[in-house]
Structure 1
Amino acid sequence: MLFDKGFLAMGNILFVSGVLLTIGLKPTVQFFTKPKNHKGSIAFGFGFFLVLIGWPALGMMVESYGFIMLFSGFWPTAAVYLQKSPSIGWIFHHPVVTSLITRFRGRRVPV
């Protein structure tokens, strides 16, 4: 079997548990219920439901969309962090990559 729904469901549970343990209960609930995150939260939850009922491939695609929608605001911050990293930062100093980073830098999330 290409995808085992038990492992996928466990991964989803561990992901949500990790977010919960990292930032706490109240901030986790606030994050998933923010109006700008509704589309991502619904997609992630529906994808999780699809995995549970036995449609793991479709569920993973829907979850991936929800994950991207939920965490798209963090990508610019992650890019700046990676650019300053001594081990792989040199990749992010390439002109093409630098132009992509500067395009999204205005939407950076404060950390």
Structure 2
Amino acid sequence: MISITEWQKIGVGITGFGVFFILFGILLYFDSVLLAFGNRHKLKGTSFFLGGVAIVLLRWPLLGMLLEAYGFISLFKGFFPMAFGFLGTAANIPFLSMLSQRLQGTSSMV
């Protein structure tokens, strides 16, 4: 018989809780009611994006890509100000500012 220490018992218990909550989270993530409730206010963007994919598959690539672009913009229009705000403050981040200065100094047109 294998002897298990108290620390190993605690580790197995914590790991069991972790596995349970991960599986429970995945189960709730794929719940159709919760997915519909969370995506209801973005129905217009989702339908334009998926409609664009369908139109591309029906061999109308230009129209389909335009519809996909409109759907993408309408889906993520709340995220764009935050992303552009981060890019505006990226010069204040030490590693990124040093990297951008180094890349600006080494670029040449020759």
TM-score normalised by the chain length of structure 1: 0.49
TM-score normalised by the chain length of structure 2: 0.50
Q: Highest relative contact order (Cα 8 Å, sep 6+), 1 or 2?
A: 1
Q: Which has the larger radius of gyration?
A: 2
